[in-house]
Structure 1
Amino acid sequence: MRGFLASSIGVTCAAALALPLTLPSSGARAATPGAPSAAGPAAEAVPGSTQSLPLTPLGSDRSLGSAGAGEQGLARRDVRPFSLVGVVWNDPEAELHGTVQVRTRATGTTTWSGWQNVETHNHEHAADPGTPERAAGAVRGSTAPLWVGDSDGVELRVRAERTGSTDRAATAPEGLLPEGLLPEGMHLELVDPGDEAPPQGPQAEVPRATALSAASAAASAVNADLAPIGAPVIPELTKKQTEDDLIAARGGPPAKARPFVGPRPRIITRKGWGADEKLREKDFAYTKTVKAAFVHHSASGNNYRCAEAGAVLRSIYRFHVKSSGWRDFGYNFAVDRCGNIYEGRAGGVAKPVLGAHTLGFNTDSMGIAVLGTYSNSTPPKAAVNAVARLTAWKLGLYGANPRGTTYLKSGGGNLYTKGKNVRLNVISGHRDGFATECPGSRLYGKLGKARSTSARFQGR
């Protein structure tokens, strides 16, 4: 299997790239080079923007300046339209110990929300220490992003934790700020996801390769054996079709040796949710295999409709890249509350793409983010079932048993030292590899069900 995934084929696209082989798909077709464009340049445009506003001291901290302030924020103000908020700061190793709260005004109204908490997840979703992505110099510390919907007014307050303890003094270790202080260089990021480009022409749903930018063609071409270049969706397959494809990819063992793999689910591609491929780094990063799946919640709140999931993803993507300094969207896949599955980080849905989802355990694993916050809210059955369907297929491609355990080597984190071999469930929660609330207690409690369902889909 590893040799198969490491092989290459020439894929004709606007970028004229040689790309790693994807698993074949029954009925998939490639775009025809040189064919007339079915969608004009306007269909490629994915607008969006980020407003970055520096925080200032609040209340009695005003005289201290930002370096000494334990309470910072922004007074209520008008801003350009946005839909997602988050806070970033200079040092990715510095932890924000305290509370972040925001209130927003719905666009075109005088209606303000109540105060909403923004999760201070303190770099647990990130590239591993020592990796090129982590060491690039552009990475910043950040909170989780919060989806607030279409808004044009904002007010923010950030308060450092004050426990009265003297343990966190000025000699606090790296990454732990002195008692009552906030990280330096804090900014509020207001993200406008933009609108998805309207379809154009009779075949606009599947643009020809010549209608795509080089970056979009490259992101799509790594899935070219699963769906046409530019396709918004990778279609589902039956279990038999999926097994037959995998057998063919492995060189055709006897028919009685059927692999344990779940039917390929329907996956909405990056093109389908409107990813702006100009934002990410051009190249793709891969690991060797996929031994485990880490389940997350996005901590972006539950105040979204499934029809808005594409906008939520575009916002998180922009926040990960433009605000937090990552090379691309952090998770390999996302799942919405209705059970729709989305391609995350670029590089090919069947490939072992290196993500930035579980600090210390991104190698030989994949990350799945369920859109929403599930600390106190029960995840919908459709979302849990989608996790099971996705893992049954993707883990099955690499011979992993969803009910089993595996070993991963830690890249460093707050639970395991760098280099330690750690035994983990093949389907784990984020908190199994890093001390964090993620994926929320309610979603974490559903992982047993996801494991058994996933194994059943594989035929185990």
Structure 2
Amino acid sequence: MGITAMGKTTRLLPLVLTAAALVPLPHENPSPDRSRQSYQEIPLDGLSVRAQTEPYGMVGITWPDGVRDVTAKVRVERGGKWTDWQTLHVEDDHGPDPSAPEGIARSGTEPLWVADATGVQASAVTGAGAAVAGAKVVLIQPGVLGSDSEDVGGVEAQAGKAPHPMPLMVSRKRWGADERLRAYNGASCVRPKYTTTVLAAFVHHTADRNDYTRTQVPAMVRAMYAYHVKSRGWCDLGYNFLVDRFGRIFEGRAGGAQLPVLGAHTASYNANSFGVAVIGNFEQSAPPAAMLESTARVIAWKLDANYRSPLATVVLDGNRLHTVSGHRDTKPTACPGTQLYKQLAWLKQRVNTLMGGSFTTPIYVFARKLGFRTIGQPFWGEHPTRTGRAAYFGTRDVFYSVATGPHSTAGAFRTRFRRLGAGSARIGLPITEAYQVAGGARQKFQRGWLVWDRRDRQVQLVYGRVS
């Protein structure tokens, strides 16, 4: 039996279909290679399936979209012994908006990290006790990379006190994201999708194990990435950010951590929000202090940069929600776990403290004076540049430094300045707004001008004085 596995073919031993537990089958390879990556799908054609397999680290169960009220269970073989049966969590709306371009190819469970298994027994039944037609058991081996043992790095912390600085983060490159995988479900998935702005944060848990090690986390994230793309049919990893029990933050969905990337985490509430998933199951266990603090810091950074209060409410998908909400605030679900959900009040207050309780930056004051109805909402929230700070709004980009004060670029001047490397040292920052002159318009910068000629409708860069 051949199973396609990340471009390769993996040979599985014969499957045994049964509704009862069976004794373990002997391994064909007593010393399998656990360092390579593989992806296996086993059809679950009856009430239960059992197989000896190539080594794998994560397991999940999927089925055709539209099937509801499914109970899915697994047990795995590790070191020649079978674990107890474990019920996998099912989240019907944990993913993209049904109207989003990526859609939902298959429904399924949350994946479960099993670290190092070589056998699986699984079942999926409806509420009536019938087998789920078209169900599959997914086994993912994320392999081992040399960087798995390295600690946080890849995205540097920003300097400055306001807004709240970007926390240290493990970049996609550092945790080993294979960017080619984003083309798996079609060319339309390759280019990241963006929403208009950031209004709210949704807190999730992955409903996974809590006893993972530091070096296992990058592999867990790689496996989740493969499961979301290849098993569920999404464009990319669903979450915008992930936080492990050690307090490390991981960049999730591609597109730029600083930008409002459209995720696949809370279905119809994904637009104008971002999802933070804590790695583990917090239905019964309390989240560690380091995990809570890092979750607060990544939320504070995103909300503060976009001028959103963690104590406010917003309207998303026609419903009023808190700016910092749990997944269960959108529908009846266990996510993000009862013990984590109980910490949301603390989390909001901690985020508010980290943000300083108010918005007082020069860019914010200037933008408010211009009027958000005029300039639009923040798209690239306030961030440092080589020569100062900047924030990109719907119709204007606003820049600030101590030497120049706050000024903005708009229209053709914004387009030209961006092409020059907005915020770079080439002509410096704007020191006036654009203004009309005979035959066109001009705007002064620290080391030159941008000049628009009404005749050719082009914006030219001019150094020095302009007559």
Q: TM-score, normalised by structure 1?
A: 0.66
**Aligned pair in 2 of structure 1 residues 160, 94: CA closer, same or farther (>3 Å)?**
closer
| Residues 1:374 and 2:271 aligned together | no
Which runs of structure 2 are paired with 1:35-434 in the superposition (5 Å)? 48-57=37-46, 72-75=47-50, 77-90=51-64, 92-95=65-68, 97-106=69-78, 109-122=79-92, 124-134=93-103, 139-161=105-127, 179-197=128-146, 232-240=153-161, 243=162, 261-280=163-182, 281-408=189-316, 410=317, 421-434=318-331
In 1: Cα distance, 2:66 partner to 2:209 partner: 25
In 2: Cα distance, 1:423 partner to 1:450 partner: 19
CA shift at 1:315, angstroms?
0.6
CA shift at 1:365, angstroms?
0.2
Which AA in structure 2 matches 1:329?
Answer: L
In 2: Cα distance, 1:327 partner to 1:182 partner: 29
CA shift at 1:98, angstroms?
4.1
CA shift at 1:153, angstroms?
1.1
8 Å CA contact retained: 1:47, 1:195: yes
Where do 4+ consecutive residues of structure 1 move more than 3 Å?
179-183
Which AA in structure 2 matches 1:426?
Answer: T
SS of residue matched to 1:100: strand
8 Å CA contact retained: 2:147, 2:175: no
8 Å CA contact retained: 2:113, 2:220: yes
Q: Deviations over 1:96-116 (max 9, x none)?
A: x2432211122xx21222222
Q: Deviations over 1:197-227 (max 9, x none)?
A: 569xxxxx9xxxxxxxxxxxxxxxxxxxxxx
CA shift at 1:303, angstroms?
3.2
**Higher Rg:** 2
Q: Deviations over 1:23-70 (max 9, x none)?
A: xxxxxxxxxxxxxxxxxxxxxxx952211000122xxxxxxxxxxxxx
Q: TM-score, normalised by structure 2?
A: 0.65
SS of residue matched to 1:278: helix
SS of residue matched to 2:309: coil
SS of residue matched to 1:295: strand
In 2: Cα distance, 1:103 partner to 1:398 partner: 45
Q: Which residue of 2 aligns with 1:29?
A: none
Structure 1 gap ranges (5+): 1-45, 58-71, 162-178, 200-204, 206-230, 244-260, 411-420
CA shift at 1:190, angstroms?
0.3
In 2: Cα distance, 1:386 partner to 1:315 partner: 22
8 Å CA contact retained: 2:153, 2:168: no
Which AA in structure 2 matches 1:154?
Answer: V
Higher strand share: 2
CA shift at 1:232, angstroms?
4.8
CA shift at 1:129, angstroms?
2.0
In 2: Cα distance, 1:360 partner to 1:56 partner: 32
Question: Alpha carbon RMSD of aligned pairs, Å?
Answer: 1.8
8 Å CA contact retained: 1:329, 1:345: yes
Q: Deviations over 1:139-198 (max 9, x none)?
A: 11111111111111111123332xxxxxxxxxxxxxxxxx44454210000011112256
8 Å CA contact retained: 2:38, 2:140: yes
Which AA in structure 1 matches 2:95?
Answer: A
Q: Deviations over 1:230-253 (max 9, x none)?
A: x9521223442xx3xxxxxxxxxx
Q: State the identity as a percent.
A: 40
Query: Greater RCO between the two (CA within 8 Å, min separation 6)?
Result: 1
8 Å CA contact retained: 1:359, 1:434: no
Which AA in structure 2 matches 1:326?
Answer: W
SS of residue matched to 2:346: helix
In 1: Cα distance, 2:147 partner to 2:58 partner: 22
In 2: Cα distance, 1:350 partner to 1:117 partner: 36
Q: Deviations over 1:396-428 (max 9, x none)?
A: 1111111221111x2xxxxxxxxxx21111100
In 2: Cα distance, 1:432 partner to 1:265 partner: 26
Structure 2 gap ranges (5+): 1-34, 183-188, 358-467
Which AA in structure 1 matches 2:156?
Answer: P
Q: Deviations over 1:342-361 (max 9, x none)?
A: 10000000000000000110
In 2: Cα distance, 1:264 partner to 1:82 partner: 35
Which AA in structure 1 matches 2:157?
Answer: E
Q: Deviations over 1:251-300 (max 9, x none)?
A: xxxxxxxxxx3222101100111111111132110001000000000112
**Aligned pair in 2 of structure 1 residues 389, 101: CA closer, same or farther (>3 Å)?**
same
In 2: Cα distance, 1:338 partner to 1:376 partner: 18
8 Å CA contact retained: 1:148, 1:303: no
8 Å CA contact retained: 1:239, 1:264: no
Q: Which residue of 2 aligns with 1:213?
A: none
8 Å CA contact retained: 2:126, 2:132: no
